[in-house]
Structure formats: structure tokens, C-alpha cells
Amino acid sequence: MVDVLRSDFITQGPAIQAFEDAFATYTGAKYAVAVSSATAGLHLACLASSLSSGDTMWTSPITFVASANCGRYCNAEVDFVDIDPCTYNLSVNELEKKLRHAKEKNTLPKVLIPVHLSGQPCEMEAIHTLAKEYGVHIIEDASHAIGASYQSNKVGACQFSDMTVFSFHPVKIITTAEGGMITTNSKELYDKLIRLRTHGITRDPKLMTESAQNEGSWYYQQLELGFNYRITDLQAALGCSQLKRLDEFVTTRHQLAKRYNTGLANLPVTLPFQHHDTYSAYHLYIIRLQTESLTLTHKDVFEGLRANGIGVNLHYIPVHTQPYYQSLGFKQGDFPNAEHYYQEAISLPLYPDLSVAEQDRVINVLRSLLKPH
Ligand SMILES: *Cc1c(COP(=O)(O)O)cnc(C)c1O
């Protein structure tokens, strides 16, 4: 970052390309496009998929609102696929049923956004097979999943998707303060993303209309309506140095997750299920309280942990229950597995600097809250 400050560019300079190249190499994708946030990345990915008014986009109800909002930015309808009660990712069974139904009614979605909740990849091969059968574009929301693998590939390789979007917000696995990345293997999508990231402007004479012929070297053309969704060189430099530490961060997260698994065994909680095809990035460690065998409520346990200074969280409030989405016609009861999950889920503190003593304290406080009263 100091080098960037001393250089000629603090934005639109060479650090961005270096970050993109390092990211493409890491994930195994052909192309990477750095953007100002994952939200911007999701918006651009939807635009590059030609999502617009009259189209539909589907995602999971258990995600951050940005996974759904990107469809609304394109004036598309948004709908949800209920979650799998085991992985908490969108359910392949529900997806299959919903696609079959949508085909009959001629309401198939143009885009599907599977979200790799907590860093565990969705069942991408099965999702991809269905998406191909029904002609649906796939954009992976991998905001939690940098450093994760699916089968033998890193998430972001886009083996089973058109594009993958990552977040570098400070709460995520690596950070650039704000920032995001889109990966793809399609040259056509890559060119579109690059253009849309900067106002829809091109300086490539091959892409310009005829009127460019007699213009000088100052000339550029705006071909479509794009945005300023750029990341800065300062942030990209931070991203490059963070990327070097990524595998170490994820390894530590796995070690801590394993300690939780041991420390929480035999308590009335469901521990994170890991599908055999996946290597999670463990962005989150989510437990579910077996509320039927507890005297305390979910809220009591959550507030009890907070009262003891433990920074627990709840990922996420089902998106379809947000007032904005209710105003679009969704209602309580629409996605029962997601709503049931929300009644029981708690994210425990998990980050590479979490000490063994701190983690033991989390386990002990939880243990004392959950013991029969
Ligand atoms: C954090 C997050 C986003 C948004 O990321 P920003 O970089 O803050 O825009 C989108 N989707 C999910 C699942 C996230 O966790």
C-alpha cells in the first residue's frame, strides 16, 4: 500500500491488474474483475447475464439481503428456493421441484444465485445439471467462500457456474476494507463486466461504432449504461497481501472449528454438517439449538452469550421476511425450512486470532447456559 501511495496511481493503476491476476491464478478461473464491493459485483454479474425487467432471479432466503437485492436493481422479480435442513444452503430437491413447476407455468428464472453459506459450497454439480436442463444462468455468491473447495476445484473456478462473486468486506475471510471480485471463464462475460464496471465506456476501436473512424486518440465511446464500481489501487495492494495469507487463515479456521466440534459434543446443539464434496472456508461456525430439549429459548441463549461478552451473531434473518420483500408479496410461512432454521441458529465467534482460552470460554458459557435447569 505504501508503494502505491508513492507511485503515480492511487486508482486505475497496475495494482488492480496484479490483484486480478493473482486472484484468477488462485481460484483457477480464466478471468477476474475487481470491483468496489460484492454487492456491486452481484449487480454487474446480473447485468452481464442480461437480467432485466420481466425476468426472474432466484436465490436462497438464508443470506445477506444483497444476494436478492441485485436482482431488484435490474428490475427483475426475485424469488427464493428454500434451504436444505442439513447444509442450510439452497436445497437441490426444492430447486428441482420449483423448476419443474415454473416450466409448466412458463415462469422459469433467468438467473439462479446459490449462496455458499458459512463458506461451505453448495452442491454445484447437481445445481449445474438442473440449470443446464432448464436454461438458467448461475452466479455463485461466494462472499463467505474464498479459500473453499468443491470437489477438486477452488470456489471461483466456475466449473459449474457462469460467474462467481466474492466479498472483501472486513468481516469476511480476507479484506480490502470494501471490495469484491467476480471470476468467470467466459471472454464475452469478462469484456462486458470490465465495461460495466466503468460507465459502459470502451477505448477499444474494434468495439466502437462507425462514427469513431475519424476521431483521435482521445476518443472513447459509451456503449451502454454502466457504473463506477471500481476498486482503488490502494485496496488492490492490500488484497494482494491478504491473498498470500488466505490459506493460513482458512487452515486456522478449520482447526478452531474442530475444537468447537469436540468442545460442544454431547450438548443439545446441532453442529455444522459438512458435505463430503466440500472443503469449507469456515467463514462462520453456525450451531442450531435443539430447542425442544431446552428450558431456555433461543433468544435467552443468544442474549445470555452476549451478556457474557461473547460476540455471537445470527446469519441470517430470512430475506423474504424483511419488510421490503413483504411489500413485494412474500409472507411468513413461504419458506418453512428457512424460518425454522432462523428460530434455532447462532453463529459462534470464529476468526484466526481467536485464542484457545477465549474459545474455551465460549464453550463453557454455552455449556452452562444449556445445562438442564
Ligand atoms: C457480505 C455479503 C455480501 C455483500 O458483500 P459486500 O462486499 O459488503 O457488498 C453479499 N452476499 C453475502 C452472502 C454476504 O455475506
Query: Nearest Cα to 141, choosing from 160, 166, 123?
Result: 166
Q: Measured between alpha carbons, how far is 114 from 58 in angstroms, rounded to an integer?
A: 8
- Which alpha helices (H) appear in 14-123, and where do they start and end? 14-27, 38-48, 66-73, 92-105
Average pLDDT, the chain: 97
Q: Which residues line ligand 1 (CB under 6 A)?
A: 37-39, 63-64, 66-67, 115, 141, 143-144, 167, 169, 180
- Ligand 1 center from residue 66 Cα (angstroms): 6
Q: Which of 98, 110, 154, 172 is catalytic?
A: 172
Per DSSP, the residues of 243-263 read: HHHHHHHHHHHHHHHHHHHHH
Q: Output the pLDDT for position 13.
A: 87
Mean pLDDT, range 225-248, rounded to an integer: 97
Q: pLDDT band for 12, please (50, 70, 90 cuts).
A: confident
pTM for the whole thing?
0.97
The cell numbers describing 199, all together, are 460507465
The cell numbers describing 269, all together, are 446443539
Query: Nearest Cα to 84, choosing from 105, 53, 109, 114?
Result: 114
Mean pLDDT, range 244-265, rounded to an integer: 98
Whether the CB-CB separation of 211 and 271 falls below 8 Å is answered with no
Q: Estimate the crossing angle of helix 233-263 against helix 14-27, to 10 degrees.
A: 30
